[in-house]
Amino acid sequence: MQPPKTTVRPIQRFASAVSKCSVESAAYGKCILADYNSVHKDMCVKEFMRLKDCYLLAAKKA
Amino acid sequence: MRLTLAPVCRPQQWKPLLTGGTARRSYAFQSGSLNFEVFNRRAKWLQKERAAANVEGGRQADYLKDEVAMRVCERLLDVKRQFPRVLDLGANSCNIARALLRPDPDPESEPPVTDPLATKITELVAAESSHSLLHRDHDHPSLSTTHVPDFKLTRHVLEHDELLPFEPDSFDMVLSSMSMHWINDLPGVLSQINSVLKPDCPFIGAMLGGDTLYELRTSLQLAEQERKGGISPHVSPLADVRDVGGLLQRTGFKMLTVDVEDIVVDYPDMFALMQDLQAMGEGNAVLGREMGPIGRDVLLAGDAIYRALHGNQDGSIPATFRIIHMIGWKESPHQAQPLRRGSGQASLKDLLEGQ
């Protein structure tokens, strides 16, 4: 059941792609933090889409 | 589950309860055998089996369990006694045995203690429901008993991790480290522990409780709330310190000691924390959780919120593990009794300030 040493787990690839988007990630976090007592759906959708676009681009490059 | 809610439901019974000769507590409490399910036992068992299949990853992620097991075993230094037969309930990968076999358990005391703590014990019964996890380190050097020839480690696979198949009055001590937070029926298991102990013998345990992983809990809640518009449980409900004291008392233990300590571990990102939890076999097993993996959007949002809300200056993220330590002694007519309240002659404040 143990995966061979060379395989990279999907979550590791995901983490390394996300790490390239620290600016967008910080902007999204700041938006949530500004009003974290009353978070509702799509409150920070603009910032999230920017973060997701950055992640998708980074994931494609890798 | 039987809940005694009589005073609220039946107001006409208020009076006899309040004016009765014996003082009776009228708050809701559970009595008899309860059938209270919070965790999916099968899911937990599967997670442990899978974690044990990843031997190297599991050993790397054992840092927390080994540390807590060590802190539990350090408490044995204060008990000047030999323990012929000891039970380790919820042994995981025999972390307690590893801690007991460590040389030089207390090099700083006067005189230093150099014999492994295992010399105080003749037989350690390590009981665990996951066969693979229990036998994972069968041949590992950290569990070699050659330097303590009188110590014997017996592994026992539990059919049901909430039913102890042992004779009453058969153990001289029960230890438990980092596993009781997965037990559904904590009062039931504690009273079984009390029953398998011989009179005047201790139970020394540690489990996760209270605000453990509150950073992860809040970040995922906010992320799910913003992305999906609703939340599902990702971190277990855990017992609080106050609950544990009451539970020990109710299940018949005497001379209780309950204390907490926080272990804060820094991780590079939320995914590293979650991977380690998985490798420890400590994944989410709450009944009623959303099945399947967490979606990519929620993970992405969760990591960003974790950093913004709790992140360290250097870009890492902290994860708090709150360990509740408990010690209780089985009742015996000959054991030392605590002194009467208010009978103390010296003030602790003067003692501590005098130094």
Check residue B253 and give its pLDDT. Answer: 95
State the pLDDT at residue B159.
Answer: 93
CA distance B40 to B291: 12
Can you give the pLDDT at residue A19? 93
Reported ipTM: 0.90
Q: What is the DSSP string of B59-105?
A: HHTTHHHHHHHHHHHHGGGG----EEEEEEES-TTTHHHHHHH-S-S
Measured between beta carbons, the chain B residues lying within 8 angstroms of A2 are 53-56
Cβ of B275 within 8 Å of Cβ of A11? The answer is yes
CA distances from residue B284 to B63, B183, B292, B323 in whole angstroms, order as listed: 19, 13, 11, 18
How many beta-carbon pairs below 8 A join chains A and B?
Answer: 79
**Cα dihedral value B153, B154, B158, B164, nearest 10:** -90
Are residues A32 and B222, on separate chains, in Cβ contact within 8 Å? yes
Asked whether the beta carbons of residue B271 and residue A18 sit closer than 8 angstroms, the reply is yes
User: How much is the pLDDT for B273?
Assistant: 96
Closest CA of chain A from B217, distance in Å: 14
Are A29 and B307 inside 8 Å of each other by CB? yes
* Dihedral in degrees, nearest 10, Cα atoms B81, B84, B89, B91: 100
Confidence (pLDDT) at A31: 95
Chain A partners within 8 Å of B225 (Cβ): 39-41
Amino acid at B102: R
Locus of tokens 């230093």: B112
Low-confidence residues of chain A: pLDDT under 50: none
**Tell me, what's the pLDDT at B8?**
37
Say if B305 is an interface residue toward chain A (CB within 8 Å).
Answer: yes
Residue A36 has its nearest CB partner, among B222, B275, B307, at: B222
Q: What residue has token string 């974790």? A: B306
Distance between B141 CA and the closest CA of chain A, angstroms: 21
Domains of chain B: 1-32 (no CATH), 39-354 (3.40.50.150)
Residue B354 is predicted with a pLDDT of: 72
Q: Å from A23 to nearest chain B CA?
A: 10
Closest approach of chain A CAs to the CA of B223, in angstroms?
9
Q: Hey, is the C-beta of A20 within 8 angstroms of any chain B C-beta?
A: no
How far away is chain B from the Cα of A58, in angstroms, using its nearest Cα? Answer: 13
Tell me if A28 and B299 make a contact (CB, 8 A cut-off).
Answer: no
Is A48 within 8 Å of B301 when comparing Cβ atoms?
yes
Q: Which residues in chain B have Cβ-Cβ distances shorter than 8 Å to A35?
A: none
Chain A within 8 Å of B32 (Cβ-Cβ)?
Answer: no
pLDDT less than 50: residues of chain B: 1-23
Question: The tokens of B235 are what?
Answer: 């971190």
Smallest Cα distance from A4 to chain B, Å: 11
Query: Per the CB < 8 Å rule, is B228 touching A41?
Result: yes
Sheet with B152-157, side-by-side order of all strands = B152-157, B121-128, B83-89, B173-177, B202-208, B317-330, B253-267
Contact present, B326 and B256 (Cβ < 8 Å): yes
Beta strands in chain B (DSSP E): 83-89, 121-128, 152-157, 173-177, 202-208, 253-267, 317-330
> A2–B54: do the CB atoms touch at under 8 Å?
yes
Report CB contact under 8 Å: B54, A18. no
